[in-house]
Amino acid sequence: MDIYLDANATTPVLAQARHAAIQAMVDDYGNPSSIHSTGLKAKSLIDGVRALARRLLGAGDGQLLFTSGATEGIQTAVLSSLGALRERRERGEAIGSLLLYGATEHKAVPEALKHWNRLLGLGLQVQAIPVGTDGLHDLAWLAEHAADAGLVCTMAANNETGVISDLDGIAATLQAAGSRAFWMVDGVQALGKLPLRLAERRIDYAPFSGHKLYAPKGIGLLYVRPGAPFTPLLAGGGQEGSLRSGTENMSGIAALGAVLAALEDGRTFRSGTQLQRFRDRLAEALLSAFPGLVFNAPLAGSLPTTLNFSVPGLPSRLLLDLFDAADVRVSGGSACSAAQAAPSFVLQAMGLPDWQTASAVRLSFGPAADEAFIAEAVARIAACGLALRRSCLAGPSEDPLASDGVLQLSAGGASSWLLVDGERRQAWVLDPQPEFNERVARLLRCHSLQLTAVLDTREPTLAATARADLLQACDAANLAQLITETDAQGWPGSTEAVYTLAPPASALQLSRLQLPADATHPDGPRAAQPVWLLQREGAPALAFVGAAAEHPALAQLLPAGTLLCSDAPGPAALRRVATTSEAAGEPAISPATLAAFVRSQPGLRLVDVREPYEQLLSDMPALHGAELQALPLSRLADPAQGAPAWLAEPGRPLLFFCRSGGRSQQAAQTLRRLGHPAAWTLEGGLAMWQSQGEPVFMPAI
Ligand code: PLP
């Protein structure tokens, strides 16, 4: 069952709102512009919802018009104010040179400013108001620039951090500066959570969006202060008093009305104090599940429904996969930018360190959350923490997983490799990269492994620095067996020596080979370098080649069929010397045809390529009788269980799966690229496989 903790992205639709929408579609379906009874009924519905919104928002005599959502409200407000600025300028009045917006504003605001500034030919400078590490606008900066601003845009509460703006401070600053600027306040995240008292403040425009508060997507509101300039975005049939033409979205308005009625009657939504208690429980659960966790905004000045945090050493993608495996839906920032996996610009604007901006996770719930929902969320957060500990990713491990063979550490633009002899508790690190040192040290500690050797394909000075950095990150206790008599690339003893890494039953032999210098390399001449060859009986050998995957001498140097493990990130690091063996064909299998596919592939093996902490958290769906293997993508090169073993069995069909289909697609494509003809990926991953008829656990609304 889902625990949906991404309410700042959107919310489910409240039961009352669903009923109201259906009633507006089925019974009260009239066009409010019609003058017959059916139309009059629709008109009365709109009037009722508008009056309700006016009371709740403290909108006084201001205009409230229904829009399709906040983005439309923002466009209308920006067009209206910029249109008025242009008129002022044409009349010879000074309008300043700046259009200001808070540096943490939703993208819709600066993009709208740039768009309309260009279209209206205003040529004003669009500039961000800086914020402090607390996320609050720098009022001293605003005081300096306010007199030169034509429009100021400051959100009421931030969608990523929940930071609540000091609207009274902003109003006072604008007034003290004698600013004539128009003022837009994006009220999206504040609706239902903060009293806005719109008419008491000098706010000119305030857009809102229904789907952030249990109404459907596609309905919103725009408040316009009496006397504020207005230019319709949509001209046409004159609906909404000609402020916004187009037949009204009656089902959306009815649904929004039901939500607002629930807000007013106080029975459906929790009070601010209750919400704060809920947030405190979630915050406590997070702190005890993830040692070292920091909150990215002060909780005291934030919405009681939003938590934004980072955990040292855990990128947000890893945490999202972890939570998702426990069926807890959180996000890595705003939903709009989530797909781009870029560091959060909001946290960057707050001046937080890079590691915090790159590993931020947002957890947000709606004011309809109840005790049972929060209790379940707390339990799942604890389970996530436990799964991480058991996978050696956070704190001391309570149940270290056995870890033999080859592990790839990969991120950004590079890979390091770890060879583990589980029996003797020894680890060899190949081409260490500083960004993985912490992780290697943690793996060693957690699995009680001894670092035995640090091998490097790179030139000696680089190799020496990388080795020294890694040793510094490791505990002395994990270095007791380190071989110190080595050559410049970390190889113990003479160049001919061969080391047996694992117990005799699955003996892994490691040997040092030498690649000659390559004067004809396309990226410039390459010096001679070592290559480490790992061999296991019955499977293709693995050659760790660092940056030399394209070296023309590899084919002669290595045994036929050797797989290359380069320093490239992810499965792209795995190559053949010559890529002529690539297997063609479409590797994707849709969940709908899965059962038939399994029947058509005798001996099929389903390979779960998610990380161990994800596997620990989720039950497997029904498997249609196929054999199941768990092998994280980071262990794809493992000689005993991964690609080398599968390539030795080319007739065995393999179907990879993961959470969303991304990693399994990489695995299937890699296997095909390496020449395995029967590798497939489950399209859409477990998310699609499990979606048929799964109950969803959401607040009782
Ligand atoms: N403003 C804020 C603060 C938001 O969080 C959002 C939605 O994420 C928007 C504006 C845009 O709202 P909509 O997508 O409903 O147009």
Question: What does the pLDDT look like over 261-274, one tens digit per residue?
Answer: 999 999 999 999 99
* CA 1 / ligand 1 centre spacing (Å): 27
Atom of ligand 1 nearest to the CA of 335: 8
Which tokens go with 9?
A: 């992205």
453 forms bridges with which residues in the sheet? 428
Mean pLDDT on 174-190: 97
pLDDT tens-digit readout, 312-326: 888 888 899 899 999
Between CA 187 and CA 70 the distance in angstroms is 9
* CA 187 / ligand 1 centre spacing (Å): 9
Question: How many C-beta atoms surround the C-beta of residue 54 within 10 A?
Answer: 18
Residue 277 pLDDT exceeds 50: yes
* CA 58 / ligand 1 centre spacing (Å): 21
Atom of ligand 1 nearest to the CA of 220: 15
Select from 8, 10, 71 the residue to mutate for testing ligand 1; criterion: most ligand atoms less than 8 Å from CB: 71
> Where does the chain hold its CATH 3.60.15.10 domain(s)?
405-576
* CA 212 / ligand 1 centre spacing (Å): 8
CB within 8 A of 47, min separation 6: which ones?
A: none
Domain 405-576's class?
Answer: alpha beta
- Answer with the residue of higher pLDDT: 196 or 309: 309
Select from 196, 209, 221 the residue to mutate for testing ligand 1; criterion: most ligand atoms less than 8 Å from CB: 209
* CA 191 / ligand 1 centre spacing (Å): 12
Catalytic, out of 153, 336, 392, 658: 336
Between CA 58 and CA 195 the distance in angstroms is 8
- Answer with the residue of higher pLDDT: 435 or 335: 435
* CA 197 / ligand 1 centre spacing (Å): 20
Q: Which of 534, 513, 515, 533 is nearest to 525 (CA)?
A: 515
pLDDT confidence bin for 670, thresholds 50/70/90: very high
Is-catalytic flag, 336? yes
Atom of ligand 1 nearest to the CA of 158: 3
SS (H, E, C) 534-594: EEECCCCCEEEEECCCCCCCHHHHCCCCCEEEECCCHHHHEEECCHHHCCCCCCEECHHHH
Q: What is the DSSP string of 345-374?
A: HHHHHTT--HHHHHS-EEEE--TT--HHHH
- Answer with the residue of higher pLDDT: 187 or 449: 187
Backbone angles phi, psi at 536, to 5 degrees: -140, 135
Select from 109, 111, 212, 222 the residue to mutate for testing ligand 1; criterion: most ligand atoms less than 8 Å from CB: 212
Q: What is the pTM of this model?
A: 0.83
Atom of ligand 1 nearest to the CA of 8: 5
Which tokens go with 524?
A: 């410039």
574 forms bridges with which residues in the sheet? 565
Can you list the alpha helix ranges (DSSP code H) found in 91-228?
108-119, 139-145, 167-176
* CA 184 / ligand 1 centre spacing (Å): 14
Order of strands, edge to edge, in the sheet holding 294-295? 294-295, 306-310, 361-364
Task: State the pairing for strand pair 508-515/498-500.
Answer: antiparallel
Mean pLDDT on 528-549: 91
Between CA 655 and CA 365 the distance in angstroms is 36
Helices 371-390, 272-289: axis angle to 10 degrees equals 10
- SS3 for 423? coil
Residue 144 pLDDT exceeds 70: yes
Backbone angles phi, psi at 406, to 5 degrees: -115, 130
**Distances, alpha carbon 42 to alpha carbons 29, 254, 289, in Å:** 7, 9, 51
pLDDT tens-digit readout, 356-372: 998 899 999 999 999 99
* CA 74 / ligand 1 centre spacing (Å): 9
Task: Report the pLDDT value the prediction gives residue 203, as an integer from 0 to 100.
Answer: 97
Using an 8 Å Cβ cutoff, are 393 and 359 in contact? no
Select from 67, 74, 106 the residue to mutate for testing ligand 1; criterion: most ligand atoms less than 8 Å from CB: 106
Residue 638 pLDDT exceeds 50: yes
Mean pLDDT on 129-148: 98
CB within 8 A of 460, min separation 6: which ones?
A: 488, 489
Using an 8 Å Cβ cutoff, are 609 and 637 in contact? no
- Answer with the residue of higher pLDDT: 579 or 670: 670
Q: Which of 310, 292, 271 is nearest to 161 (CA)?
A: 310
Between CA 198 and CA 307 the distance in angstroms is 26
Query: What fold characterizes domain 271-390?
Result: Aspartate Aminotransferase, domain 1 (3.90.1150)
* CA 205 / ligand 1 centre spacing (Å): 15
Task: State the pairing for strand pair 654-657/627-630.
Answer: unpaired
Mean pLDDT on 49-66: 97
Between CA 544 and CA 565 the distance in angstroms is 5
Residue 699 pLDDT exceeds 60: no
Taken in order 484, 485, 490, 493, the sign of the CA dihedral is negative
Cα 514-516-518 angle, rounded to 5 deg = 140
Mean pLDDT of all residues belonging to the chain: 90
Mean pLDDT on 444-458: 91
pLDDT confidence bin for 694, thresholds 50/70/90: very low
| % of the chain surpassing 90 pLDDT | 70
Mean pLDDT on 498-519: 80
- SS3 for 193? coil
Q: Report CA Rg, the chain.
A: 30
Between CA 85 and CA 94 the distance in angstroms is 9
> Where does the chain hold its CATH 3.40.250.10 domain(s)?
588-689
pLDDT confidence bin for 401, thresholds 50/70/90: very low
pLDDT confidence bin for 611, thresholds 50/70/90: confident
Select from 8, 101, 155, 159 the residue to mutate for testing ligand 1; criterion: most ligand atoms less than 8 Å from CB: 159
The type of residue at 649 is: E
**Distances, alpha carbon 332 to alpha carbons 321, 403, 649, 688, in Å:** 11, 30, 40, 21
Select from 104, 188, 189 the residue to mutate for testing ligand 1; criterion: most ligand atoms less than 8 Å from CB: 188
Atom of ligand 1 nearest to the CA of 336: 8
* CA 209 / ligand 1 centre spacing (Å): 7
Residue 63 pLDDT exceeds 60: yes
Q: Is residue 302 exposed (0-12), middle (13-18) or buried (19+ Cβ within 10 Å)? A: buried
Q: Is residue 48 exposed (0-12), middle (13-18) or buried (19+ Cβ within 10 Å)? A: middle
Task: Report the pLDDT value the prediction gives residue 337, as an integer from 0 to 100.
Answer: 44
DSSP secondary-structure letter at 326? Answer: T
> Where does the chain hold its CATH 3.90.1150.10 domain(s)?
271-390
* CA 159 / ligand 1 centre spacing (Å): 8
Using an 8 Å Cβ cutoff, are 449 and 459 in contact? no
Using an 8 Å Cβ cutoff, are 562 and 533 in contact? yes
Atom of ligand 1 nearest to the CA of 72: 16
Lowest mean pLDDT among 250-259, 265-274, 583-592, 660-669: 583-592
153 forms bridges with which residues in the sheet? 101, 184
Atom of ligand 1 nearest to the CA of 159: 5
Mean pLDDT on 23-28: 94
Nearest CA to ligand 1 atom 5: 159
Which tokens go with 679?
A: 């590798």
Between CA 606 and CA 628 the distance in angstroms is 5
Task: Report the pLDDT value the prediction gives residue 76, as an integer from 0 to 100.
Answer: 98
Nearest CA to ligand 1 atom 8: 9
Atom of ligand 1 nearest to the CA of 105: 3
* CA 70 / ligand 1 centre spacing (Å): 5
- Answer with the residue of higher pLDDT: 166 or 336: 166
* CA 86 / ligand 1 centre spacing (Å): 27
CATH number, domain 588-689: 3.40.250.10
Atom of ligand 1 nearest to the CA of 73: 16
Atom of ligand 1 nearest to the CA of 210: 15
Residue 146 pLDDT exceeds 90: yes
Residue 639 pLDDT exceeds 80: yes
Nearest CA to ligand 1 atom 9: 70
CATH number, domain 15-265: 3.40.640.10
- SS3 for 437? helix
Backbone angles phi, psi at 492, to 5 degrees: -75, 130
Mean pLDDT on 541-559: 92
Residues in contact with ligand 1 (CB, 6 Å cut-off): 69-71, 106, 108, 155, 159, 186, 188-189, 209, 211, 220
- SS3 for 655? strand
Nearest CA to ligand 1 atom 12: 70
Using an 8 Å Cβ cutoff, are 202 and 35 in contact? no
b/e string for 106-142 if b means 16 or more Cβ within 10 A? bebbbbbbeebbeebebebebbebbbeeebbbebebb
Between CA 130 and CA 17 the distance in angstroms is 39
Q: Which of 683, 665, 5, 581 is nearest to 324 (CA)?
A: 5
Mean pLDDT on 72-86: 98
Task: State the pairing for strand pair 306-310/361-364.
Answer: antiparallel
